[in-house]
Amino acid sequence: MKLSIRFVKAHGVLKDERIVLKVLEDVDVGDYMLADTTYIAEGEISNELRHTFWIPNKEVEKDDLVVIYTKSGNDSTKLNKSGTKTHFFYWGLGRTIWNQDEDSAALFLIGNWSSKKV
C-alpha cells in the first residue's frame, strides 16, 4: 500500500481524536477506506467494521501526511516547513470511535469497486 497508519492520537477525546497516515508514494487517497474495528491478535482484526470513512479523492505526494479527525470540520491542506504537506479530512461524527483499548484502525486499499441500486 502507498499509505501507512502512523498512529491514532487523543483516542476517546472528540475535539482532538485523529488518525495520522504517512504517504509512502504519490497516490490518490480516494482509493483508500479507513475503518474502526476490534483488534484480535497481531495481524488479525475482527470482520465487524463499525464505522467506515472513504477518504475523498485527492492526489498527495510521497512523505506528505494525511490527518483524519473524527469530528466535523472543513477539509484543508497545510504546507509544512520541510516542503511536504499535511492534508486534513473530517469524518463528521459526533462521538469518538477509538475509545476502547481493544479498538483497531484498519486501512483498506479499495481502488476498484462496484455498486448496484436496489
Calpha distance 117→67 (Å, rounded): 32
What is the average per-residue pLDDT within 1-14? 95
pTM exceeding 0.85: yes
Beta strands 76-79 and 85-90 are antiparallel
Q: Where are the domains of the chain?
A: 3-109
Indicate whether 91 pLDDT > 90. yes
The arrangement of secondary structure in 3-109, i.e. its CATH architecture, is: Sandwich (2.60)
Under the banding of pLDDT at 50, 70 and 90, the label for residue 40 is low
- The gap between the terminal CA atoms of the chain, to the nearest Å, is 32
Q: What is the pLDDT of residue 109?
A: 96
